[in-house]
A and B are shown apart, each in its own frame.
Chain A
Amino acid sequence: MMKAQDIRRRIRSVQNTRQITRTMEMVAASKLRRAQARVQGARPYAAKLSEVIARLFVPDLAERHAILRQPEEIRNSALVLLTSNRGLAGGFNVNLIRHARFTLDELREAGVEVEFHVIGKKGIRFFRYRREPMATERQDISDRPTMEDARSIIDPLLARFESGELDAVDVVYAQFKSAISTPPARMRILPVEPSRGPEAARPLDYIFEPSSEEILTFVLPLYVRNAAYRVLVETAAAEQGARRTAMKNATDNADELIRTLTLQYNKARQAQITRELTEITGGSEALRG
């Protein structure tokens, strides 16, 4: 059994850790609220873009515009992995990395030449260790990603897709379903798959300035960029959610540990007092005898 003094030292150490995890939990909770607002703020724009594209898209445009090309066979593709720059977020990065490796294997087995782009310190560190070649390694995306960040990631890939150098662009990111559910997911950003939304069923005689075709070719890159922006903000919000959950669990575990240790400490202390008393009485008995 540990000595009372040692137990007390451990309790103090656990209390210090608890204070840190508790603070991190609260910081993550407040960042999460703001990140969540950004995810929601991005929805109206995305909805409008999908609506307009669904309305303007005509299948035979795909042959005239590079951005709409639908390669029959995917030979060269780019995979973008989003991870966080900071840890202590539970399984957040591990899950993303696992999903990315799975996706890489899957694509390569299908005979696709994959170019790998990794964003976030955690992902970069892992794949450097594994000696996986990476086309880009970026750590400059903050936990408040902007449209500019999205542009800087997707625009070069979009240009290469249009030139025919790439046939597909996939992203592995963390889906923000709710603050406690942030599963990793894969999204195919390119080629664009125009969805036939309910809006297409609202026939209105629009005046187009310039032509509908020109508008479509202008709006498509916005749509692609917006998809990139959306995965960035979702991942950022998911990171905060995952961190809050992880830190909450850590705090709860610390509480539990403190409870058990306090119990042990009291037992040890009582045992020590009892032992001392027996020693004293034993000693005086011996003297008298």
Chain B
Amino acid sequence: MAVPGSGRPFTLSVISPERKLFEGEAKFVVVPAFDGELGILYGHAPLMALLGSGALRVETTAGTRRFRVSGGFVQIADNEVAVVSERAEEA
């Protein structure tokens, strides 16, 4: 049984103080929130959560990309996901 929202793309941006590391469509994102990993699919409820440190996994239509993030927050609203981290880099 398919999870509702799985496979549908939404907008994601990964932003560090220096620059935008990623901006585009993603189908599934795993974010290291402060209290554990958080999976995001299309149609997620509006959410604002603090980040811990760890790996950020992004499933795009073109493949998987990984980032290391530490501190910051994630904001989800209207299928727009913004991962804003003080220290972020592509792994």
Contacts and interface: CB of A to CB of B under 8 A. Distances in A.
Nearest to A49: B84
Interface in B43-77: 45-50, 71-73, 75, 77
Interface residues of B, number: 26
B40 interface: no
Interface residues of A, number: 27
A41 B13 CA distance: 13
Interface string B13-47: 10111111000000000000111000000000111
Contact of A45 (B35, B46, B71, B84): B84
Contacts of A48: 15, 75, 82, 84
A55 to B, nearest CB: 8
B15 to A, nearest CB: 5
A204 B86 contact: no
Contacts of A215: 48-50, 73
Interface string A2-46: 000000000000000000000000000000000000100110110
A193 B48 CA distance: 22
Given A48-B82, A48-B84, A229 B17 contact: yes
Contact of A42 (B17, B35, B47, B82): B17
A285 interface: no
Interface string A208-246: 111010110011001001100100000000000000000
B65 to A, nearest CB: 18
Contacts of A41: 18-20
Contacts of A45: 15-18, 84
Given A41-B20, A48-B82, A209 B49 contact: yes
Contact of A206 (B20, B34, B47, B82): B47
Contacts of A207: 45-49
A263 to B, nearest CB: 52
B73 A52 contact: yes
Contacts of B34: 209-210
Given A48-B84, A207-B45, A209-B48, 14 more contacts: A41-B20, A42-B17, A42-B19, A44-B13, A45-B16, A48-B75, A147-B17, A202-B77, A206-B77, A207-B46, A209-B49, A209-B50, A222-B86, A225-B17
11 contacts: A38-B18, A41-B18, A41-B20, A48-B15, A49-B84, A206-B46, A206-B77, A207-B47, A210-B34, A212-B48, A215-B49
Interface of A: 38, 41-42, 44-45, 48-49, 52, 146-147, 202, 204-210, 212, 214-215, 218-219, 222, 225-226, 229
